[in-house]
Structure 1
Amino acid sequence: MPRPRRPVTAPRKLPSQARSTQLVADILKAAVRVLEREGALRFTTTRVAEAAGVSVGSIYQYFPNKHAILFRLQVDEWERTSAALAAILGDDRLPPARRLRAMMRAFFVSEREEAPLRAALDVALPSYDEAPESRAVRARGRRILRAFVAAAAPHATPRQRSFGAELVVAAMSAIGKQLSERRPSDAEIRRWADAIADMLTGYLAGLAPRPRRARQRG
Structure 2
Amino acid sequence: MLKKVPKQARSEHMVACILAGATRVLDAVPLAEATTNHIAEVAGVSIGSLYQYFGSKEAIAHCLLHQHLEQTVGLLREIRIASRGCPVEERMRLSFLEVLRDHRSHPMLHLNLTAVTQREDFPPSQLKQVVGRMIDEIALGLAEEHPEADPDEIRVCATLRHQSSMLLAHAALDRRRFGQDSLVMDYFDTLSAAQLSLLDRRPVRRAPQSS
* Counterparts in 2 of 1:186 and 1:124: CA distance versus 1, 3 Å: closer
Amino acid of the structure 1 residue aligned with 2:202: L
Task: Quote the RMSD (CA, aligned, Å).
Answer: 2.8
Cα shift at 1:77: 0.9
2:25 to 25, 34, 43: 34
**Contact 2:18 2:40 survives alignment (8 Å):** yes
Amino acid of the structure 2 residue aligned with 1:140: R
Structure (1 or 2) with the larger CA radius of gyration: 1
Counterpart for residue 16 of structure 1: 8
Cα shift at 1:12: 2.1
Cα shift at 1:180: 2.6
Query: Do structure 1's residue 208 and structure 2's residue 203 form an aligned pair?
Result: yes
* Counterparts in 2 of 1:112 and 1:196: CA distance versus 1, 3 Å: farther
**Contact 1:105 1:189 survives alignment (8 Å):** no
Query: Do structure 1's residue 158 and structure 2's residue 151 form an aligned pair?
Result: yes
Count of residues paired in the alignment:
200
Moved more, 96-105 or 183-192: 183-192
Counterpart for residue 213 of structure 1: none
2:77 to 68, 76, 86: 86
CA distance in 2, matches of 1:149, 1:180: 28
Deviations 1:33-67 (CA, angstroms, capped at 9, x unpaired): 22233321122211212222321111122223322
Return the TM-score normalized by structure 1. 0.75
CA distance in 2, matches of 1:26, 1:53: 7
CA distance in 1, matches of 2:188, 2:7: 39
CA distance in 1, matches of 2:29, 2:123: 25
Counterpart for residue 92 of structure 2: 100
Structure ranking higher on relative contact order (CA contacts 8 Å, 6+ apart): 1
* Counterparts in 2 of 1:181 and 1:129: CA distance versus 1, 3 Å: farther
Query: Do structure 1's residue 120 and structure 2's residue 115 form an aligned pair?
Result: no
CA distance in 1, matches of 2:67, 2:38: 21
Return the TM-score normalized by structure 2. 0.77
Counterpart for residue 216 of structure 1: none
Deviations 1:182-217 (CA, angstroms, capped at 9, x unpaired): 26455555555445444444443333249xxxxxxx
CA distance in 2, matches of 1:47, 1:114: 19
Counterpart for residue 48 of structure 1: 39
**Contact 1:152 1:205 survives alignment (8 Å):** no
Query: Do structure 1's residue 137 and structure 2's residue 93 form an aligned pair?
Result: no
**Contact 1:45 1:65 survives alignment (8 Å):** yes
CA distance in 1, matches of 2:5, 2:144: 42
Amino acid of the structure 2 residue aligned with 1:161: I
Query: Do structure 1's residue 62 and structure 2's residue 56 form an aligned pair?
Result: no
**Contact 1:168 1:200 survives alignment (8 Å):** yes
CA distance in 2, matches of 1:120, 1:74: 9
Counterpart for residue 214 of structure 1: none
- Structure 2 unaligned blocks of 5 or more: 206-211
Counterpart for residue 74 of structure 1: 65
